[in-house]
Amino acid sequence: MKKLSFNTAYYIRKLILYSESELRTLLNQPGVFFNSKEILQQLIESVYLEDVLQNLLLEVYQEERLINQIVEQLEELVRQHQTVLQKADVSQQEITIKRKIFAALGFKRIIITKQEVLNALSQISIFSKNYLGNILTINNWQSTRPDNDWLKIIQIDRSAKLTCNNETQEINLSQLQLIHE
């Protein structure tokens, strides 16, 4: 498995430190995914980032082939970022490259739509219906659903089909966690 070079890890650390407030703000926005705030803290505080970054890549990508591709991509993005900054032109290109580096490290905005969640829940409902029948599936949904106002707008009809009358199209991470429960 490929590892990031010392120079690339050091440069990424500089970028993270330079963008710390931006990253913390980003993490507080709805729909933003990052492994954990503890890992961000490690990235900010760690002097020797090679191991922290390698562990992060292992956790995010898990497959050696993907990790090797991301390492190559990060090496190239860092070279591009350095080249752009040498021109003393902080442009949209510099911002785009920096965002690609952060996205490769796991800072990604994930937008989950209500329809995607309803489709997934409907699939689970279909499987449950096949084994338990409509009545048990409906009763199970109603009895195991956490007591939350947002979840109460998701209704299950007699055929065990789930619907939602809310106008909101995007679901935030706290709502997704409620669905998982």
Does one domain contain both 122 and 105?
Answer: no
For residue 118, what are the contacts with CB-CB under 8 A and spacing of at least 6?
A: 154, 162, 163, 164
Please say whether the beta carbons of 141 and 173 come within 8 A: no
pLDDT digits (tens, 9 = 90+) for 68-113: 898 899 899 999 888 887 776 667 777 788 888 887 877 765 667 7
Does residue 29 sit within a domain?
A: yes
- pTM of the predicted model as reported, rounded to 2 decimal places: 0.55
Please say whether the beta carbons of 32 and 26 come within 8 A: yes
Does residue 1 sit within a domain?
A: no
pLDDT digits (tens, 9 = 90+) for 48-67: 677 777 877 887 777 888 88
**Domain containing 173: what range?**
112-180
What is the pLDDT confidence band of residue 158, given thresholds at 50, 70 and 90?
A: confident
Does residue 85 sit within a domain?
A: yes
Given 58, 82, 109, the domain boundary residue is 109
Across-strand partners of 163? Answer: 155
Does one domain contain both 102 and 162?
Answer: no
